[in-house]
Chain A
Amino acid sequence: MANLKEIRNRITSVNSTMQITSAMKMVSAAKLKRAQDAITQMKPYAEKLQEILTNLSSSLDASENEYAQEREVKNVLIVGVTSNRGLCGGFNNNVVKKIKTLVASEYKNCNISVLPVGKKINDALKYTTWESASSELYEHPEEIWNDLTFVNGSKMADSLMQAYKRGQYDQIVVVYNSFINAASQIVKNEQFLPVQVPEQTEDSNTIDYVYDPSKKEIVKDLIPNSLRIRLYKALLDSHASEHGARMTAMHQATDNATDLKKDLQLTYNKARQAAITSEILEIVGGAEALAN
């Protein structure tokens, strides 16, 4: 049986690890709350914008727009959204895996570039042949997590739109963790450009609006805006997912540490009891020997 001091040391170290993981869990829970609030805040905006856009494009052919032109797909840009920090389970790995499957299946014969959002995907890029697009498109995309606002998200979306307009890429895909709830995230790949024109519904155009300027101008103005919102939504989703994933991972770690501590405590008590028993036996044996 391991000696008492050794077990005591292990109990202390498991205990302090447990304190760290449970603190990290609480921090993540607080950050998750804020990230979720940001999503809730953005939702009405996104919905209203989509509603107006659908309304407009039902009476107008939006596929003429410069962002809606389907081209033969040769150069593909994949925006991989990961976090800057680890300790969040399979969160980052899932994104990298998803990109790998996409590259191996859908974009088999294309030139692949990746815009690495988040430090973690940067690490993964070192082991692949994909080109990183961060230097020419958007410097230090990982810094967006320091200050995630619509303005910063728009800058990134704008640079993507510019690159598409220049013909640098024929398709741009965003791969990110979409937020379902704190315990589950689903990796999604969403086509960013070319824009898929919203489905036309029959009863969407019942209101007779006055438009100023013309419908065409408004649609031209709104499509970039809705693209910015889409990228921002993906970023917000990923942000919330990150904290959700970390919260779950840390919860799991705390649980494991509790189990481990319980086991160790039991071993410690047994060892202690055994030591006492043998000591008593020795004393009794010694006393008996004297009595004889």
Chain B
Amino acid sequence: MNIEIITPDKNLFKGTADSIVVPGTSGLIGILNDHAPFITTLQKGQVVVTTSKGEQTFDVKSGVVEVLNNNVIVLAG
């Protein structure tokens, strides 16, 4: 699935990945391929992206995640 992590200042990540874990407001949420359309807000924590090359982590303070048709967009604040 395609993942994009963007902040208003820069692009943090863009590419395909196997899974992504985000710190949702009601707890950690892992998203895998073919996830249903989904929107959640984020709380302070770490976004962990697992690609075929390994894991990458990004710190976020707030934000929102939209999952649609295997496209995950993380608007990090």
B75 touches A212 (CB 8 A): no
Interface of A is mostly: helix
Asked if A225 meets B26 with Cβ closer than 8 Å, knowing A42-B8, A210-B37, A210-B38, the reply is no
Is A88 part of the contact surface with B, judged by Cβ < 8 Å? no
Let me know if B23 is at the binding interface, CB within 8 A.
no
Flag the segment in A21-29, A44-52, A180-188, A266-274 that touches B. A44-52
Contacts of A42 in B (CB 8 A): 8-9
Which A-chain residue is minimally distant from B29 (CB atoms)?
A212
Binds B, one of A6-14, A116-124, A216-224, A257-265: A216-224
What 0/1 readout, one digit per residue, does chain A (207-250) give for beta carbons within 8 Å of chain B?
Answer: 11111110001100110010011001000000000000000000
Number of interface residues of A (CB under 8 A): 28
Given contacts A207-B37, A218-B41, contact A52 B8 (CB under 8 A): no
B34 to chain A, nearest CB (A): 14
**Cα A41 to Cα B8 with chains together (Å):** 7
Is the CB–CB distance between A210 and B36 below 8 Å? yes
**Could you give, for residues 19-55 of chain B, a 1 whenever the CB lies within 8 Å of some chain A CB and a 0 otherwise?**
0000011100100000011111100000000000000
Asked if A150 is at the interface of the complex by the 8 Å CB criterion, the answer is yes
Out of A45, A149, A221, name the residue touching B41 (CB < 8 Å).
A221
> How many B residues have CB within 8 A of the partner chain?
24
Nearest Cβ in chain B — how far from A112, in angstroms? 30
Alpha-carbon distance A138/B68, docked complex (angstroms): 40
A208 with B37: CB separation less than 8 A: yes
Are A41 and B37 in contact, CB atoms less than 8 angstroms apart? no
Other A-B pairs beyond A52-B66, A212-B24, A225-B63, 17, CB < 8 Å: A41-B8, A41-B9, A41-B11, A45-B7, A45-B8, A48-B66, A150-B7, A150-B9, A154-B77, A209-B37, A210-B36, A211-B38, A211-B40, A212-B25, A218-B40, A221-B64, A225-B77
Of the A-B pairs whose beta carbons lie under 8 Å apart in the complex, a sample of 23, sorted by A's number, is A41-B9, A45-B6, A48-B73, A52-B39, A52-B64, A56-B39, A149-B9, A154-B77, A207-B37, A208-B37, A209-B66, A209-B68, A210-B37, A210-B39, A211-B38, A211-B40, A213-B40, A213-B41, A218-B39, A218-B40, A221-B41, A225-B63, A229-B8
